[in-house]
């Protein structure tokens, strides 16, 4: 991991910086590139616009590691309202949550009840997704996910290709016929746990995508979402999957709002399933810092905003 990436990821965990960052206009302006606004209405408006372009959306209310039951219940209520809006507005959107937003740090059973309430209120044809957080949460996340899957079909979970353990986890998820979002991984992890070299992460990513789209996964009813902005990797996965005889509308790609917009449109136009994750909310600091860490050019963009007023 580069020094710059690891420094930014360390800073993303700073409560001191989190409190001060929103005071600076140039930082808020940079955040706007990745997020249409702080309200659910802002995200739903984008969802409608993207739906007209054949793009589905994944909505997420920014937040993590809530410190009280009241806060976790507030987040759950908020998402219940959003699920209701998705139903009444008829937008092709799904929701993705972080378990530490639903109270995982406070009480696992309490968190599970909040999660179950959200899956239950999700329309049957929509998946309620669970994000993957730092490696210390992976076991608890899979534990709650597999419990939820025993009762509900319409729930999915994210897996991170940078983790050495993920191949084994994907094998279990395939056996369950799970819905799986494959990402590279956004946190600072030690080399014993995560591949430090980008080329190893990319190779593992491709191997995991092949497993998810493979015959066993298809037979088990796996839904795989290839969540990356890495164009050579998108090309490699799509070429391989099409050669395997998989219909384009069964091959799903997912990207973040504001990143690789032309590629999103291309995929949708060519008949692939294309999904854009739209984040909103006021707790954006750690999430924004992870976006900066992903691409050094984003730092230059941030700095340019200091001078452009
Ligand atoms: P990579 O970092 O190799 O980037 C490839 C190219 O994409 C770059 O060269 C650049 O052109 C472009 N790019 C990537 N990031 C950019 C950025 N921030 N700004 C501008 N351009 C950028 N992680 C996690 O740990 N848990 C999770 O639950 C999720 N969930 C999730 C959902 C969805 C829909 C997406 C797209 C991503 C996530 N992630 C995530 C984040 C993921 O782990 C990863 O950090 C980012 O997707 C960046 O990695 P790429 O796969 O894009 O490749």
Residue 247: which CATH number?
3.20.20.220
Q: Is 125 a catalytic residue?
A: no
From residue 177, give the alpha-carbon distance in Å to each of 173, 184, 226.
6, 21, 16
Given a contact cutoff of 8 angstroms between Cβ atoms, the answer to whether 208 and 181 are in contact is no
Amino acid 13: pLDDT: 82
The total number of residues written for the chain in this structure? 309
Q: Give a yes or no: residue 211 inside a domain.
A: yes
Q: How far is the CA of 198 from the centre of ligand 1 (A)?
A: 12
N-terminal to C-terminal alpha carbon distance within the chain: 33
Give the residues across from 158 on adjacent strands: 181
Q: Give a yes or no: residue 306 inside a domain.
A: no
Q: Give a yes or no: residue 289 inside a domain.
A: no
Q: Give a yes or no: residue 53 inside a domain.
A: yes
Amino acid 218: pLDDT: 94
Amino acid 193: pLDDT: 97
Q: Give a yes or no: residue 44 inside a domain.
A: yes
Q: Whose CA is nearest to atom 48 of ligand 1?
A: 294
Q: Give a yes or no: residue 239 inside a domain.
A: yes
Per-residue pLDDT of the chain (309 residues; tens, 9 = 90+): 677 788 888 877 888 777 777 777 777 777 788 899 889 999 999 999 999 999 999 999 998 888 899 999 999 999 999 999 999 999 999 999 999 999 999 999 999 999 999 999 999 899 999 999 999 999 999 999 999 999 999 999 999 999 999 999 999 999 999 999 999 999 989 999 999 999 999 999 999 999 999 999 999 999 999 999 999 999 999 999 999 999 999 999 999 999 999 999 999 999 999 999 999 988 778 778 888 887 777 777 677 766 664
Q: How far is the CA of 69 from the centre of ligand 1 (A)?
A: 31
Domain count, the chain: 1
Q: Give a yes or no: residue 305 inside a domain.
A: no
Q: Give a yes or no: residue 301 inside a domain.
A: no
Q: Is 188 in the pocket of ligand 1 (CB under 6 A)?
A: no
Q: How far is the CA of 70 from the centre of ligand 1 (A)?
A: 31
Amino acid 22: pLDDT: 77
Q: Which domain holds residue 107?
A: 36-283
Q: Is 184 in the pocket of ligand 1 (CB under 6 A)?
A: yes
Give the residues across from 254 on adjacent strands: 227, 275
Which of 42, 105, 125, 181 is flagged as catalytic?
181
Q: Whose CA is nearest to atom 36 of ligand 1?
A: 255
Interatomic CA distance for residues 161 and 200, integer angstroms:
9
Q: Whose CA is nearest to atom 8 of ligand 1?
A: 230
Amino acid 241: pLDDT: 97
Q: Is 42 a catalytic residue?
A: no
Which residue out of 59, 229, 255, 257 has the highest number of ligand 1 atoms within 8 Å of its CB and is therefore the one to mutate? 229
């Amino acid at each position: 991991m580069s020094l710059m990436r690891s420094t930014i990821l360390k800073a993303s965990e700073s409560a001191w910086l989190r409190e001060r960052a929103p005071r600076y206009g140039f930082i808020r302006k940079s955040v706007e590139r990745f997020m249409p606004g702080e309200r659910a209405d802002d995200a739903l408006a984008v969802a409608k616009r993207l739906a007209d372009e054949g793009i589905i959306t994944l909505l997420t209310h920014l937040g993590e590691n809530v410190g009280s039951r009241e806060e976790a219940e507030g987040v759950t209520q908020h998402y219940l309202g959003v699920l209701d809006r998705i139903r009444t507005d008829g937008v092709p959107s799904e929701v993705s949550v972080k378990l530490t937003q639903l109270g995982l740090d406070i009480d696992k059973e309490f968190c599970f009840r909040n999660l179950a309430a959200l899956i239950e209120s999700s329309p049957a044809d929509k998946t309620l997704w669970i994000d993957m957080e730092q490696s210390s949460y992976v076991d608890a996340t899979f534990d709650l996910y597999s419990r939820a899957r025993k009762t509900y079909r319409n729930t999915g979970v994210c897996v991170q290709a940078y983790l050495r353990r993920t191949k084994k986890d994907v094998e279990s998820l395939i056996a369950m016929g799970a819905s799986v979002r494959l990402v590279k991984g956004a946190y600072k992890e030690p080399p014993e746990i995560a591949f430090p070299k980008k080329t190893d992460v990319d190779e593992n990513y491709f191997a995991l995508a092949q497993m998810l789209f493979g015959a066993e996964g298809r037979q088990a009813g796996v839904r795989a979402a290839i969540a990356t902005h890495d164009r050579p990797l998108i090309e490699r996965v799509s070429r391989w999957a099409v050669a395997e005889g998989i219909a384009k509308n069964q091959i799903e790609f997912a990207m973040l709002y504001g990143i690789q917009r032309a590629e999103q449109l291309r995929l949708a136009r060519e008949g692939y399933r294309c999904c854009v994750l739209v984040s909103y909310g006021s707790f954006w600091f750690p999430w924004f810092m992870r976006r900066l860490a992903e691409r050094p050019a984003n730092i230059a963009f941030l700095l340019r905003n200091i001078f452009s007023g």
